[in-house]
Structure 1
């Protein structure tokens, strides 16, 4: 659920919003908008295979036929990057020269989006916790995006969590590596913590439960605390204790810092290779 400030910003949005692609991320955005009070009658969803949940929103006023929108004021593109050029052929006639175009496609540059759809482009990278309203999105605006359009994009993106704005589009590859792909690294941590517990003698179900709840609980503590992660780590670590013994391995030579640095570098490089 959007907070009161974001909800007010959503309710202040005018004009027609077209959402192109209503899969997991597009669906999370749509849910956030409607939960935040955006008028469903302002929204057109362009999705060739809408889920039952998305189809049900038609009863609330969401249009599921692009013909119901002569032109759109804001276009949000949430399709797979490899299909956006084909999508453009269908959607471009709906986009006016001054329309706001918000792209959440990974590895797709502002220039590419502008070439296909026109308009004033905002490029954004959300992550999957958006599905529960706890996402983090980083956005960058093209030079022709007005202050009002940036505010509209901010409200639409903030409906699923926090938003940070950057001025340098070149940072988006590293953003993708850290926060866009980051949830997978945390899930892997839970997987491997559970496997290590089994190797230490714990029953599989118990080890999985302990790992899952530990990762989730530590994440919530990090979310609620104003302390840096390093301080929270130190607060758990008694000199010469069990945590210190484990951290000596994780923080030692070829430990987690080196592994994570290489992983982020690999993901960043791949994002640059995929750039369109």
Structure 2
């Protein structure tokens, strides 16, 4: 799908110079897509050129969360021109299918969609490309980690033991496929009372920290549970744009600063890995 030359990931129609980040979760409902969008915008606010590839073919939600209005276009009946929102280039199955219609595809077709999104989209020169993975360790998530060995996995979880346990499977899958884990983001970590400032740990406490320790990586940030952030996502106006002054927006900014401070070098000797014994990571 790409090659590494001169320290960059060279795509068919573009390049990535600083990071290919696969954002994953063990289960649905932990806010992975919301994290993807707000992190992408935070990186863009830091002066980075950013794209989002919505790899959750069946459950795509990126277009709604980022308020995408324009449709993808084609050039020369082959190259796909991705629409932009908040200066982020976005490609999603939602650019081609109404969000109310199901995408009834099996694994081979899903793999083909990923390849097309990587090869045929005119990404241009990017600093970061963020991939919003489907939850769990199903075919699509494994296929991405197999075929994109230079991706770093960013695991999103909530503090709940159940969410942490299943999120750990993603980290173990990455380890088996020799894919680096960039870090852990704990979402819905706590609710802070507007009146007294007290933190209430509604979904428990310490799960993200424990997961980061288990995966031998960093806990990049703990995002508070904020009803305004939920409403902002539903309205297509991400919280880092809607309410820059909120605590949650500041946490996103700090996470983006941590990511950009890392010196990423793409190893030209790293190659895609084949699974020899079937779906061992399920």
Shorter-normalised TM range: 0.3 to 0.5
- Which of the pair has more CA radius of gyration? 1
TM-score, structure 1 as length reference: 0.35
> Which structure has more helix as a fraction of its residues?
1
TM-score by length of 2: 0.35
The structure with higher relative contact order (CA 8 Å, sep 6+) is 2
